Every structure is written in structure tokens, then in C-alpha cells.
Amino acid sequence: MSSHSANDLWHGATRVVRAGLPDKQAGTPYLPGPVFAAPYHAPGDPSLSAYTYGRFHNPSWTHYEAALAELEGGPCLLFPSGMAATAAVLATMATPGSTVVMPSDSYYTTRVIATQEFDGAWFAAQHITVVQAPSRGDALLRALDEHADRGVSLLWLESPTNPALDVCDIAQLSARAHEIGALVAVDNTTVTPLLQQPLALGADLCVVSDTKAMTGHADLVLGHVAARDPALIERLRLWRTRMGVIAGPMEAWLAHRSLATLHVRLMQQCRSAMAVAEFLAQCDGVRGVRYPGLPGDPSHAVATKQMRAYGGVLSFELASAAAVERFFAKSQLIYEATSFGGVHTSAERRARWGGDVVPEGFVRMSIGLEDVDDLMADIAAALT
């Protein structure tokens, strides 16, 4: 990898453009193209070949993982989706007979796999209990204390949460979790390592769905895990190799290519999201606007302490499900779609899926790269 790759003094914009690129060599591309291979030439002792078999390793993963490691501040592993990354952490880090503490308001599917897939069979067989508590306030801290005697092996956090955008104090919770011997994993999907660095804040593991802002063009499904301790990454690597939960080389390469624009995309999304949040807060018929950047938002103080900017996702409420449907029908710019972090502004009425404790008229909106004046004009027209 580039000799500059470990340059801690580089700003985020420089890092994302150069992260993971190989050393300059005449006649080679900046970022080598995707490598499609199942077996590689590997005579004799396999440990002498850098690559042997496609389920074990791939040069396109290596480049993207090196880039992610530079951004995360710790070694990193690529997975075929955010949920594959999440499942790998839950499966490998929770120890038999222990408790896993997690937010009751984290991403819906994370709660589903913890409480139905794992708790239903896997965790039950190993006598692992899942305890949930809200991200807001000190409920997670209290849950840690209440279950400390039984042994908490893993504290799972998500901040800001999807979709409520509540923020928890990662440094404080990590310190308490470590006192009682628990590992801490943070789902950092909503803001990415560019805006918040869970490992530097004290977490052991950082999990991200690269499907969202990391890749940002609404055309990839990927995820990754970073860790402070390389031994944890080796545990996860065994899981990935044995279970075969691997990303395609084309996806890894496309993700790496998309990374170069992460800073410009995200910063513009942050600026526009702030403007749209302020605008929505003044609109008739709109209530409960949530954006961690708003000074009056319940998440603002902690977000300001631990995040570099507030992200591109916000939420608000309209009077009813029907009011939201009318809003979407009138808007010309807002795609009605799930997911977030992409270059196209999109939104959805979250209650349509079930699973989240949100009002019928609750809307999660992801701000894209359209001109913010056009967006606000479109929103104003759609609200009338």
C-alpha cells in the first residue's frame, strides 16, 4: 500500500481520495481493476502464495479493506452486506452463558436477528440472553449495571439510531462496558467513519452498512467491520471464510471507487440536511423534526461532542399516514424508497414496515446532492 497511507495528518477529503491505493508504479492504474478468480496459481506450501482461493481472500477486497482501515483507525474486513457484518459480530463476540445488551431502537433487522434468529436457537443453545434498552438517556448504562453480575460479553450500540436519530455517548458507555469486561460494537452506518470514529471513542468494533453513504450511489449492498484489536478481526475472518459470507470483487472495486467522493458527498449532504431541517421546523403541519445538528434536538449535545458533523439523515412527522402519502405524491424530487445516504434525496414512511416504534406519520428523509433550494421548494410545494 502507499507509503502515505498511514499519514494521520491528512484531512478527511485527502484520506478518502487516496485511501488504500497501491504505491505509484509506472504503467499501472491508480486503483487496479476487480480481480475475478476462484482458484489462484498456488504451488506447494499454500502459505507462500498471497492468494490461493476466492473464498479466503481477493486482491480487490484487500485494496478496499486497506482503505477502510485507514479511515476507521483499525484493521477491517469486508462483508457482502451490513447485516452479514452485524451477524458475524453477534455470532463471534457473544460468549456462552453471557448477556448481550443492545438498543431497543436500533435498526429493525439487527434487533430481529438478535432476538429471533440468534436468541431463538443459536443464543438459546449457548444460554446467551439479549437485553434491550433505549439509546436515549441512561437506560443502556443502567442495563449494563443491572446485568453486570451475570456477565455481559457484548454491548451493541447504534448512533445515531435509524430511524429515530437518537445519539448515545459512545465513550461513556464503552468505558463502563470495559469495566465489566464487555466488548463494545457500534453500528456507525448513519454517519460513517468520516463523521464519527467509534474505535477512537473507545469501542472495540465498528460495524457499517456500506450500502448507504459509504458507497452512496444506490447501486451496491456491502458492509464492513473494523476492530482495534487485530485478534478480533482474525476471529471474524475465520467466520467469514468458513461460512463463506463474502463480497464480490466487482462490488469491492466499485465501493473503493465510490469512496473517493465520500467527503464531498457527505459534507454537502450535511449542509443541505441542516438547511432542510431548519426549514421543516418552520413549516405548517410538520412536527417533531429530528436532526442532531439542530441546537434544540435532544441528541445535539452528545452529537456535538463525538461527531464531526451531523449527517444527511433527518426525520419529521406529518399528521397521518394519508398526509405522508399526499406529500410523496406531490413531490417531484423525493424518491419514496427505503435506505439512505445516497446522492438522490429519498424518504419513506417508516411505519409502513412495522417493527419500529414510530407514529404513522413519521418520515425518515435522506438528503441527497440536489440543489438545496430546489429541495426546499419541492418540499414546500408537496406540503401544501
| Residues forming a β-bridge with 342 | none
Hey, which residues does 346 pair with through a beta bridge?
Answer: 335, 366
Residue 82 as a binder of ligand PLP (CB under 6 A): the answer is yes
The site map against ligand PLP for 242-281 (x = CB under 6 A) is: ----------------------------------------
Strands (E), 12-105: 76-79, 99-103
Considering only CA atoms, which of 206, 232, 211, 240 is closest in space to residue 223? 211
- Residue where the block lists cell 454517519: 191
- 104 counts as binding ligand PLP under rule CB under 6 A: no
The answer to whether 149 is a known catalytic residue is: no
Contact 331, 287 (CB under 8 A): no
Rounded (10°) angle between helices 249-259 and 59-72: 40
Residue among 66 and 164 whose Cβ is closer to ligand PLP:
164
Instruction: Please enumerate in sequence order all residues whose Cβ is within 8 A of that of 6, keeping only pairs 6 or more positions apart, or say none.
Output: 70
* CA 125 – CA 33 distance, rounded (Å): 44
Closer to ligand PLP by CB, 281 or 362: give it.
362
Residue whose C-beta lies closest to ligand PLP = 82
| Contact assessment for residue 148 and residue 119, using Cβ atoms and an 8 Å cutoff | no
| Residue 169 annotated as catalytic | no
158 contacts ligand PLP (rule: CB under 6 A): yes
Which of 71, 83, 255, 367 contacts ligand PLP by CB under 6 A? 83
Minimum CB–partner distance for residue 352 and ligand PLP (Å): 14
**Contact (CB, 8 A) for 110 and 158:** yes
The residue range among 41-49, 70-78, 81-89, 349-357 that interacts with ligand PLP, by the rule CB under 6 A, is: 81-89
Q: Residue 5 or residue 162: which is nearer to ligand PLP going by CB?
A: 162
Is position 349 annotated as part of the catalytic site?
no
223 binds ligand PLP (CB under 6 A): yes
170 in Cβ contact with 202 (< 8 Å): yes
Question: Is 53 marked active-site?
Answer: no
Return the SS3 of 105.
coil
Short-list 110, 106, 111, CA closest to 135: 106
Question: From the candidates 166, 187, 297, 356, which is the catalytic residue?
Answer: 187
Amino acid at 118: F
C-beta separation of 128 from 102 below 8 A? no
Q: Which stretch binds ligand PLP (CB under 6 A): 13-21, 80-88, 226-234, 238-246?
A: 80-88
Could you tell me which stretch among 4-12, 35-43, 79-87, 308-316 binds ligand PLP (CB under 6 A)?
79-87
**Residues 174-193: x/- map of binding to ligand PLP (CB under 6 A)?**
-------------x-xx---
Judged by CB under 6 A, does residue 166 bind ligand PLP? Answer: no
Contacts to ligand PLP by CB under 6 A: 81-83, 86, 107, 158, 162, 187, 189-190, 209, 211, 221, 223, 339
Positions marked active-site: 55, 107, 187, 212
